[in-house]
Amino acid sequence: MEVRKNFGSKLGVVLAAAGSAVGLGNVWRFPTEVGNNGGAAFILIYLLCVILIGAPVMLSEFVVGRHTHTNTITAYRRLAPGSWWRFEGVAGVFVAFLILSYYVVISGWTLYYLIESARGSLSTDQDFTADFTSFVSHPWIPIVYAVLFMGMTHLVVARGVQSGIERCSKLMMPLLLLIIVVLVGCSFQMPGAHDGLSFLLKPDFSKVTTRVILSAMGQAFFSLSIAMGCLCTYASYFSSDTRLVRTALNVSIIDTAVAVLSGFIIFPAVFSVAGVEVNAGPGLVFITLPHVFQMAFSSYPLVGYLFSVLFYLLLLLAALTSAISLHESVTAYVLESTGMSRQKATLVVSLSCLVLSVACSLSFGPWSELKVFGMTIFELFDFAASKVIMLLSGIVICLFVGWRLDKKMVEAEVTNGGTVPFRLFRFYLFLIRFVVPIVISAIFVNELLR
């Protein structure tokens, strides 16, 4: 078996973990949720959720991962031998696998849109909805893109922690941040950008319902990649001097900044084109935005071209670093439990996951009539993963670290053996023991009753 490596630098740690968190959830799901939930007030509630729920859960996952220095399944098994807690690790890795299977399908779409926009064929289109629908429902073209995307993910994961994941994050995350800044600048220049900004900045609290609060919490969970073993696996590659609290804060801040800035890119652009709906749902980036690109830049085709190519490149980079983290949490388990080489373990995960991806992709087309509990395969995977297992597993992680693990050990872990003070330790403990489990249970019950 190969020697277990850690991340090589502090910057690598933050960028890899931020790469996991920053994904389709920020650039695609967040703006959609903001649009559907009334703008600025949603963003404020979202910020509270990140601080009071997201960051503490992330820190708890870091504690488990760094303390054990092993994959998520073995980590829980080792910390709680023979007890039911060990299934927490199994659930995490299983969900990561499930999410990866449909994540590559959507990421494949972004690859297709990047190529189409680079070829210039997006801007000549007439009917964006029909274009999108006929693409995603095609029996094999989206599968080809999903396979290509999985291939890219595979190549990075197969190269290992330092020369694959860390190197790739150090290369792609700065590029991603640069693209965001350029796009925000462009978006602000558009006529009518002002309305988009006030939608994002002026909270209207009359729109806030419990439903909105619950959506914000769910979004915080999804966006921060918590409770699926991804961050726990990454933390197992942290060295003993990595500061857990600071890393959790940095990652939460970067992730939130990217989400809010994506809003700053998308809404001024959308508002600048009359007649385009803000609450356009999941089609926002694949249907509404190409339309916006075409209309807004009709007199400056080159700017429109660059804007759309950069936008889809941004989406693709964000998706790739997240897919890598999902892949790695499964691969680390296969690798360490079977003693296979990393190459082989990566291949096993890529291929078996693609089988599920094919089913997900077909569920947008030929298999769209195939329903389980009234949902297509894609909807079922997403529901099972992000609405059921993820939330339950968030509760379990907090209860595990808050009640089952030795308090002294947790404190030693978050303070690096007492060398970095953490004054809010008691408050953190209060959050994970009481606040987070109660709040997540509320989300869960609400989702079930919907």
Question: From the list 23, 108, 142, 394, which residue makes contact with ligand TRP (rule: CB under 6 A)?
Answer: 23
Residues in 183-222 that interact with ligand TRP by CB under 6 A: 222
Regarding 17 and contact with ligand TRP (CB under 6 A), the answer is no
DSSP 372: B
Contacts 24+ apart (CB under 8 A), 111-115: 111/145, 111/148, 111/149, 111/316, 112/141, 112/142, 112/145, 113/286, 113/290, 113/312, 113/315, 114/309, 114/312, 114/313, 114/315, 114/316
In this structure, which amino acid lies at residue 409? M
Regarding 101 and contact with ligand TRP (CB under 6 A), the answer is no
Question: From the list 72, 225, 242, 350, which residue makes contact with ligand TRP (rule: CB under 6 A)?
Answer: 225
**Region binding ligand TRP by CB under 6 A among candidate stretches 66-74, 262-270, 318-326, 358-366:** 318-326
CA atoms within 13 Å, Cβ hemisphere of 363: 22
Residue 189: partners with Cβ closer than 8 Å, 6 or more residues away:
none
At 129, is the secondary structure helix, strand, or coil?
helix
Question: Which residue from 60, 30, 59, 58 is spatially nearest to 45, judged by alpha carbons?
Answer: 30
**Region binding ligand TRP by CB under 6 A among candidate stretches 32-40, 283-291, 320-328, 424-432:** 320-328
Question: From the list 17, 24, 179, 380, which residue makes contact with ligand TRP (rule: CB under 6 A)?
Answer: 24
DSSP 6: P
Q: How many CB atoms lie within 10 A of CB 186?
A: 21
CA distances from 302 to 85, 293, 299, 316 (A): 56, 11, 9, 21
Regarding 110 and contact with ligand TRP (CB under 6 A), the answer is no
- The distance of closest approach from Cβ of residue 264 to ligand TRP in the complex, given in angstroms and rounded to an integer, is 17
248, 14 Cβ separation under 8 angstroms: no
* Phi, psi for residue 280 in degrees, rounded to 5: -80, 5
- The distance of closest approach from Cβ of residue 18 to ligand TRP in the complex, given in angstroms and rounded to an integer, is 10
- The distance of closest approach from Cβ of residue 386 to ligand TRP in the complex, given in angstroms and rounded to an integer, is 6
- The distance of closest approach from Cβ of residue 15 to ligand TRP in the complex, given in angstroms and rounded to an integer, is 15
Nearer to ligand TRP, 4 or 387 (CB): 387
**Region binding ligand TRP by CB under 6 A among candidate stretches 55-63, 149-157, 210-218, 223-231:** 223-231
* Beta bridge pairs of residue 375: 372
Question: From the list 325, 331, 357, 361, which residue makes contact with ligand TRP (rule: CB under 6 A)?
Answer: 325
Nearer to ligand TRP, 230 or 397 (CB): 230
- The distance of closest approach from Cβ of residue 325 to ligand TRP in the complex, given in angstroms and rounded to an integer, is 5
Between CA 231 and CA 14 the distance in angstroms is 11
Regarding 242 and contact with ligand TRP (CB under 6 A), the answer is no
Question: From the list 230, 265, 317, 396, which residue makes contact with ligand TRP (rule: CB under 6 A)?
Answer: 230
- The distance of closest approach from Cβ of residue 23 to ligand TRP in the complex, given in angstroms and rounded to an integer, is 2
Number of residues that bind ligand TRP (CB under 6 A): 16
Structure tokens that stand for 43 in this block: 């963003």
Structure tokens that stand for 46 in this block: 């979202």
Between CA 332 and CA 157 the distance in angstroms is 10
Question: From the list 6, 13, 16, 20, which residue makes contact with ligand TRP (rule: CB under 6 A)?
Answer: 20
Nearer to ligand TRP, 264 or 381 (CB): 381
In this structure, which amino acid lies at residue 276? V
Regarding 223 and contact with ligand TRP (CB under 6 A), the answer is yes
Regarding 54 and contact with ligand TRP (CB under 6 A), the answer is no
- The distance of closest approach from Cβ of residue 343 to ligand TRP in the complex, given in angstroms and rounded to an integer, is 23
- The distance of closest approach from Cβ of residue 62 to ligand TRP in the complex, given in angstroms and rounded to an integer, is 15
- The distance of closest approach from Cβ of residue 59 to ligand TRP in the complex, given in angstroms and rounded to an integer, is 16
Regarding 99 and contact with ligand TRP (CB under 6 A), the answer is yes
Burial category of 189 from C-beta neighbours within 10 Å (exposed 0-12, middle 13-18, buried 19 and up): exposed
- The distance of closest approach from Cβ of residue 282 to ligand TRP in the complex, given in angstroms and rounded to an integer, is 13
Nearer to ligand TRP, 103 or 364 (CB): 103
- The distance of closest approach from Cβ of residue 88 to ligand TRP in the complex, given in angstroms and rounded to an integer, is 15
Structure tokens that stand for 182 in this block: 């350029």
Torsion 422-424-430-436 (CA) sign = negative
Regarding 26 and contact with ligand TRP (CB under 6 A), the answer is yes
At 207, is the secondary structure helix, strand, or coil?
helix
402, 174 Cβ separation under 8 angstroms: no
Torsion 325-177-223-9 (CA) sign = positive
Question: From the list 169, 322, 357, 376, which residue makes contact with ligand TRP (rule: CB under 6 A)?
Answer: 322
Q: Residue numbers of the site for ligand TRP (CB under 6 A)? A: 20-21, 23-26, 99, 222-223, 225, 228, 230, 322, 325-326, 386
